[in-house]
Amino acid sequence: MNKTSFLHLWVCRILLAGLGLLFSLPFFWMISTSLKPLRETMKMPPVWLPIPPQWQNYPEAMAAMGPFWLYAANSLSLAVLNVLGTVLSSAVVAYGFSRLEWRGRDGLFFVLLMTMMIPFPVVMVPLYGLFRELGWIGTMKPLWAPAFFAGAFNVFLLRQFFLGLPRDLTDAARIDGCSEFRIFWQIILPLARPALLTVALFQFMATWNDFLGPLIFLAREEQYTLALGLQALQSTISGTPWHHLMAASTLVVLPAILLFFFTQKTFLRGIATTGLK
Amino acid sequence: MEPGAGSVIRPAHRSTLQGLLFVAPWIAGFLVFNLYPFCASVWFSLCDYSVLSQPVYLGSKNFQDLLHDPVFWQALKNTLLFAAVSIPLGTAVSIGLAILLNQPAGAQGLFRTLFFLPCLVPAISLAILWQWMLNGQMGLVNMALRPWFDGLNSLFDCSLRPPDWLNDPSWALWGLILTGLWGTGQAMVIYLAGLQEIPEELYEAASLDGTSAWQRFLHVTLPMLSPVIFFNVLMGLIGALQTFAVPYILTGGGDGPGRSLLFLATYIYQNAFDFWNMGYASALALVLFLMITVLTLAAVRFGEKKVHYQGR
């Protein structure tokens, strides 16, 4: 692109800088507010850099939420269980939909694609009834057990990846009389590590972000996730201590952002391929 | 079974059995978590049902009530308006950002991360943060707007004030749309990848023909990007129609002033878990499903005509 003019490049750079500032401002404001004393949050003109920063807002906000670490442990264990369940089950199912040929396969796969059009709010009422019959309301099971039955979107993603692996990889093993499950487990799975990691990351984020599921199915405070604990803090307090709310919000965002920074490449590549395939 | 198969399982059968075995987890999940709830929804929508007692058949009463329920119509209107505004706006912004990022201006990785990060923020934090950003008095948005309004007021001798976003029934939905625009990064990443797949020769050929940048955008970029736009719009549509968490939290667990942030999913939730009116909630859920199906099919129809697939 040697023909790109000097002016063009600098207009782009200025636009990028301006928009970058605009997009990062809410983050900056969240952190800045979280480090202010309460009266400074309402000061006009605004205080941009609170000096000295009120680090104690963080422990105070955690204390105001109640058992913060318990909520964090709940969120984390739900995320881990969901990741484990969905990666294992979606991989097995995606294998069946891609590397095996059998009658009815494509018809069933079409049904799977169609289920992506049924959003959670459509089925949540009967699901609530079902989990109530099972005695699962007030336990965390409704929030992780379904993950072990493969998610349509994840199956779709993994199937795309499996289809791209060369046939000869498995033909030799098949001729040697290797069982289909062993081929899946010992040949395909290790090769699919990047795709599996992508699915794991997406699922972790989805579970960490989930609000409606916990809102409906959890009944007791000791099972709350961070999202529910934070919502309880938001709706019970009066006078809106914005410094505490921002501190707590920052703590909930942080794990997602940290995870992103450690896995940036896989993450972005994963998102890009979902749209291009 | 065909004659002569006997006890010997023939290869063709074995492979069907094997295939089914592999996809069995999904089949079980589909039956229990998709098909059953869907059928149950249809049945409950024809019943008076509160979970605590057995459903009682009512016929089409729930649907007749729905037609005469102004709150339902408001939820429907809000949902459709939100989708109709936020999807085109989000598409324009994310394509714009992607094109900007695709210029050789340097630091692409840094800015891509900056634009992408907001979409990682969980709904709960996103909503609380924007509740604060959109606060009428101390919010950052209005602090930035106020000097402009003051300038206008002194110029034209009037007394305009920036809106009290979430407390004003005519502005709350726009506050939500603004919140959504901040989190547009996922689509942007997909567009950026799509742009990078467009062969450079196409632009070079177009340049030789003496086309302007705008013409190249219209006649090269847009058609080449159309499959990606189609995918993103479809995903955006399905997502927008089931909007729940952010407006629910923005309004402190409610539906906003004058129900301006009441969405179909919110109304389903309220009927099911605030009023325990599961029959009516199921009727609403079916309407939501029908809307998603019809609009998705319409989008696919439209896409078949307009989307340009390479090599077809």
| Confidence at residue B64, expressed as pLDDT on a 0 to 100 scale | 96
Give yes or no for B117 touching A (CB within 8 A): yes
Confidence of residue A237 (pLDDT cuts 50, 70, 90): low
Give yes or no for B104 touching A (CB within 8 A): yes
Structure tokens belonging to residue B265: 């999913």
Distance from CA of B135 to the nearest CA of A (A): 11
Q: Is the pLDDT of residue B2 over 50?
A: no
| Confidence at residue A225, expressed as pLDDT on a 0 to 100 scale | 96
| Confidence at residue B6, expressed as pLDDT on a 0 to 100 scale | 43
What is the chain A residue with the closest CA to B136?
Answer: A42
Distance from CA of A227 to the nearest CA of B (A): 6
DSSP H or E stretch at residue B290: helix B278-306
Confidence of residue B254 (pLDDT cuts 50, 70, 90): confident
Give yes or no for B300 touching A (CB within 8 A): no
What pLDDT digit, counting tens, does each position of B141-198 carry? 999 999 999 999 989 888 888 999 999 999 999 999 999 999 999 999 999 999 999 9
| Confidence at residue A1, expressed as pLDDT on a 0 to 100 scale | 44
Distance from CA of A183 to the nearest CA of B (A): 12
Q: Is the pLDDT of residue B12 over 80?
A: no
Task: Report which DSSP code applies to B198.
Answer: S
Give yes or no for A118 touching B (CB within 8 A): yes
Distance from CA of A169 to the nearest CA of B (A): 19
Contact B133 A24 (CB under 8 A): no
Mutating which of A102, A157, A160 best tests the B interface, going by the most B Cβ atoms within 10 A? A102
Contact A253 B122 (CB under 8 A): yes
Task: Report which DSSP code applies to B270.
Answer: I
- What is the distance in angstroms between the CA of the first residue and the CA of the last residue of chain A? 28
Confidence of residue A39 (pLDDT cuts 50, 70, 90): confident
Q: Is the pLDDT of residue A165 over 70?
A: yes
Contact B278 A108 (CB under 8 A): no
Q: Is A217:A128 a contact under the CB 8 Å cutoff?
A: yes
| Confidence at residue B310, expressed as pLDDT on a 0 to 100 scale | 66
What pLDDT digit, counting tens, does each position of B256-274 carry? 999 999 999 999 999 999 9
Contact A104 B16 (CB under 8 A): yes
Give yes or no for B174 touching A (CB within 8 A): no
Which among B51, B71, B61, B7 has a CA at the least distance from the CA of B256?
Answer: B71
| Confidence at residue B52, expressed as pLDDT on a 0 to 100 scale | 81
Give yes or no for A117 touching B (CB within 8 A): yes
Give yes or no for A105 touching B (CB within 8 A): yes
Confidence of residue A277 (pLDDT cuts 50, 70, 90): low
Between chain A and chain B, the number of residue pairs with CB atoms below 8 A apart is 280
The arithmetic mean of pLDDT across residues A37-53, rounded, is 86
What pLDDT digit, counting tens, does each position of A63-99 carry? 999 899 999 999 999 999 999 999 999 999 999 999 9
Give yes or no for A22 touching B (CB within 8 A): no
What is the chain B residue with the closest CA to A123?
Answer: B37
Q: What residues 67-86 of chain A have any CB closer than 8 A to a CB of chain B?
A: none
Question: What is the spatial distance between Cα A141 and Cα A131, in angstroms, rounded to a whole number?
Answer: 9
What pLDDT digit, counting tens, does each position of B226-244 carry? 999 999 999 999 999 999 9
Contact B122 A227 (CB under 8 A): yes
Mutating which of A122, A159, A261, A262 best tests the B interface, going by the most B Cβ atoms within 10 A? A122
What is the chain B residue with the closest CA to A230?
Answer: B124
Confidence of residue A58 (pLDDT cuts 50, 70, 90): very high
Mean pLDDT, all residues of chain B = 91
Q: In sequence order, what are the residues at sequence separation of 6 or more whose Cβ sits closer than 8 angstroms to the Cβ of residue A267?
A: A198, A201, A260
Spell out the domain ranges in chain A: 67-276
The arithmetic mean of pLDDT across residues B48-53, rounded, is 86
Which among B255, B296, B22 has a CA at the least distance from the CA of A91?
Answer: B22
Confidence of residue B7 (pLDDT cuts 50, 70, 90): very low
Q: Is B65:B83 a contact under the CB 8 Å cutoff?
A: no
Mutating which of A6, A125, A130, A258 best tests the B interface, going by the most B Cβ atoms within 10 A? A125
Give yes or no for A19 touching B (CB within 8 A): yes
The arithmetic mean of pLDDT across residues A233-259, rounded, is 89
Q: In sequence order, what are the residues at sequence separation of 6 or more whose Cβ sits closer than 8 angstroms to the Cβ of residue B163?
A: B136, B142, B170, B171, B174
Give the CATH superfamily of A67-276: MetI-like (1.10.3720.10)
Question: What is the spatial distance between Cα B117 and Cα B109, in angstroms, rounded to a whole number?
Answer: 12
Of the candidates A96, A128, A268, which has its C-beta nearest B51's C-beta? A128
Distance from CA of A226 to the nearest CA of B (A): 9
What is the chain A residue with the closest CA to B29?
Answer: A149
Domain at B62-306: CATH code: 1.10.3720.10
Which residues of chain B have a CB within 8 Å of the CB of A112?
26, 30
Question: What is the spatial distance between Cα B139 and Cα B34, in angstroms, rounded to a whole number?
Answer: 43
Spell out the domain ranges in chain B: 1-44, 62-306
What pLDDT digit, counting tens, does each position of B100-115 carry? 999 988 888 999 999 9
Which residues of chain B have a CB within 8 Å of the CB of A120?
242
